[in-house]
A and B are shown apart, each in its own frame.
Chain A
Amino acid sequence: MTTIAVTPAAELPRRDWPFLIAAVLGTAVLVALVWLDGQPASAALILGGFALGIAFLKSEFSFTAAWRRFLVNGEAGGLIGALLLIAVAATVIVPVAALAPGFGGAIAPIGPSLIVGAFVFGIGMQLANGCGSGTLYTAGGGSGRMLITLALFIVGSVIGSLHLPAFLALGGIDPVLASNYFGAWGGLAVTLASIAIAAGLIAAIAKARGANFKPRPLILVGAIAIGLLSIAVFLAGHHPWSVTFGFTVWGAKLAALAGYDFSHAEFWQWPGPKRALAASILSDTSSLTNLGMILGAMAAAAAAKPFARTAWPPLPSLLAAAIGGLLMGWGARIGFGCNIGAFVGGVASGSLHGWIWFAAALAGCAIGIRLRPLFGLSRE
């Protein structure tokens, strides 16, 4: 006698059509606006972001959880996966940034600003349960808690923008870029070697702690997909994928609308930020990919199951979300980016600041992990 296994109706995926349609429609509207504005590259950035949202959501590619597992258990699969992602992106970003006019890598000065900012970001990301990319795809994916983080991330970014000039005044050295010292291909070799060395060290630590260091298949697929999409975003925008500048602009535009006067803020007189504040949100590369990613994650989440049907977490958890967001926003501005802009972007460009950012952020994570139980969050 044969038995046929039947999946109970409750477990079948149920598309959440309203949110799926809204996400796709919203994306279509934004793409149409930039297309009609004669900016196909902007359309590519929105769609690239959309695809990144899907990739992150489907592979559950979390930097935050991966780093926490490594620090707490020595489990290195997620972290190695991130390094693979960066290596994939670097193969194009290092040489093209060095050789092609109009293209540039992610660079940053090395000094107190970088270290303090990254450290504070690290604390924040563990309280928030997400980093730059994590906030985008988790909020897009239907986590109300992450909406709070996103809101405070935006607030923190604006505050950080007002403090950054003072931190820069503390001093530092000009960016250290591998291709400047070793040429385009030498720089790539050095970059890939540095990634390999880091992976080796991390794997060794994992082994010493009796933990796994091989990424799960889903993480491997995700890493390669995200790496390739990072290349696409780089080629369309002429600079590596960046997340937190977009938040900074959104926050500043809202503040300006409410009457805040940025004409005395040094950050907002630098040519890049000044132009971004005056021009359309859709003419900022970081905003384009951010919007695309939120909507892509929303579409992917709504296509798989009912959207935002979970209960709100308890208040202490929401408090951690808010504080985490604020710290990440501030830290990202002071530290020249988040896990994507500074770590992935920096290392994939062959810039030394990427590694320093990583080390300082990891140290901040250690502190953040210790603070988690205060808000009722798990240590793992």
Chain B
Amino acid sequence: MMRVVYAIVLIAGIAAVVADHLASPSSARAVSPEDFAGACAPCGAPCPSVQKKS
């Protein structure tokens, strides 16, 4: 039943997020991969010009 699936997914999902969060290293503010130097895309990929050099 769809409702049951949803209930399980919801509870398991929130539990997984909470567990991942609490087990993670103590640190700083939320960031996206673009925050990191040299990032050329929302996933943090390097720029073609940089890649050609390396």
- Give me 21 A-to-B residue pairs in the complex whose CB atoms sit less than 8 angstroms apart, sorted by A's number: A23-B10, A26-B10, A39-B30, A41-B30, A168-B48, A173-B48, A238-B32, A238-B35, A245-B42, A267-B45, A270-B39, A271-B33, A271-B37, A272-B32, A272-B34, A273-B43, A280-B21, A282-B21, A283-B30, A284-B30, A291-B17
Residues of B near A172 (CB, < 8 A) are 48
CB-contacts of A72-111 with B (<8 A) = 104, 106-109, 111
Q: Give the residue name and chain of the B residue nearest to A160 (CB).
A: B43
- Size range of the chain A interface in the assembly: 35 or more
Given contacts A144-B5, A168-B45, A175-B47, contact A29 B18 (CB under 8 A): yes
**Pair A239/B27 contact, Cβ less than 8 Å:** no
**Pair A111/B17 contact, Cβ less than 8 Å:** no
Q: Give the residue name and chain of the A residue nearest to B14 (CB).
A: A26
Residue of A23, A33, A168 touching B18 (CB-CB under 8 A)? A33
**Pair A283/B27 contact, Cβ less than 8 Å:** yes
Residue of B24, B33, B34, B43 touching A164 (CB-CB under 8 A)? B43
Q: How many residues of B contact A (CB 8 A)?
A: 39
Given contacts A169-B51, A312-B2, contact A272 B21 (CB under 8 A): no
Assembled-state Cα–Cα distance A164/B51 (Å): 13
Residues of A near B7 (CB, < 8 A) are 22
**Pair A147/B45 contact, Cβ less than 8 Å:** no
Residues of A near B24 (CB, < 8 A) are 278-281, 283
Task: Flag whether A125 is at the interface (Cβ < 8 A).
Answer: no
Residues of B near A104 (CB, < 8 A) are 34-35
Residues of A near B36 (CB, < 8 A) are 270-272, 275
A304 nearest CB across to chain B (Å): 16
**Pair B18/A336 contact, Cβ less than 8 Å:** no
Task: Flag whether A3 is at the interface (Cβ < 8 A).
Answer: no
A120 nearest CB across to chain B (Å): 16
